[in-house]
Amino acid sequence: MTVTEAAKTRRSIRKYTDEPMTLAQVDDILSVAALAPSPSNLQPWRVKVVLDHARKQELMAVAYNQKQVGAAAAVLVIYSEMKEVLATIEETIHPGMADRKEQVAKDTRASFADFSDEMLQWWGRGVSYIYMTYIVLAAVERGYGVSTMLGFDPPKVKALLGIPEQAEIPVIIAIGRPAEEGFPHHRHPVDRVRSVW
């Protein structure tokens, strides 16, 4: 399946079969998603993988009882914590820059020096959405159905899964073998959203 085929066949799937997912299967998807574009290679995304049935039920309760959370084989809670990311910048500097690693780290931190906490969260959230898209396409390529969700109570999700209070949770993703087809795409035509200068 090509990327284009994955994009065209993706549906919002809320019903799943009982087939479980292993951590290795989830990690296979995440290893592809890790290749998502990331400014300054900071990779601000972090993932809580929920496979346990009881924990999925608890998560569903703080995600406005969306049934796909409890029904999915795996639920991924994507979050970013930019202060931790900036504190560990050296981990993300390319080996090809080893001779100037210290300067690159200093310059990268300086580029965020004037960011408010809100701006840092905005930045981490935006890059994490790119990561989310790669997760979705990789999952669809492997025959899984997905549902991306913005409806949840962030403080309660953080408390349930041990996510730092200052972290930003942009999205929750339910994944499983589809037990429904989902609605076909209904999208604006390109000329409705595209301007040319």
- CB of 56 closer than 8 Å to CB of 50: yes
Residue at 194 is within a domain: no
pTM value? 0.94
Q: Is residue 104 part of a domain?
A: no
CA distance 92 to 85: 9
Specify the CATH number for the domain of residue 30: 3.40.109.10
In a domain, 188, yes or no: no
Does residue 87 belong to any structural domain of this protein?
Answer: no
Residue 189 confidence (pLDDT): 94
- Per the domain annotation, does 97 fall within a domain? no
Residue 54 has a pLDDT of 98
In this prediction, residue 40 carries a pLDDT of 94
Domain assignment present for residue 70? The answer is: yes
Whole-number Å distance between alpha carbons of 153 and 169: 10
Residue 195 covered by a domain: no
Q: Which residue range forms the structural domain that includes residue 11? A: 3-82+118-181
Per-residue pLDDT of the chain (197 residues), as tens digits, is 999 999 999 999 999 999 999 999 999 999 999 999 999 999 999 999 999 999 999 999 999 999 999 999 999 999 999 999 999 999 999 999 999 999 999 999 999 999 999 999 999 999 999 999 999 999 999 999 999 999 999 999 999 999 999 999 999 999 999 999 999 999 999 999 999 99
Residue with tokens 């795996």: 74
Query: What's the pLDDT score for residue 18?
Result: 97
Handedness of CA 51, 133, 191, 8 (dihedral sign): negative
Rounded Cα–Cα distance for residues 12 and 184 (Å): 9
pLDDT, position 88: 95
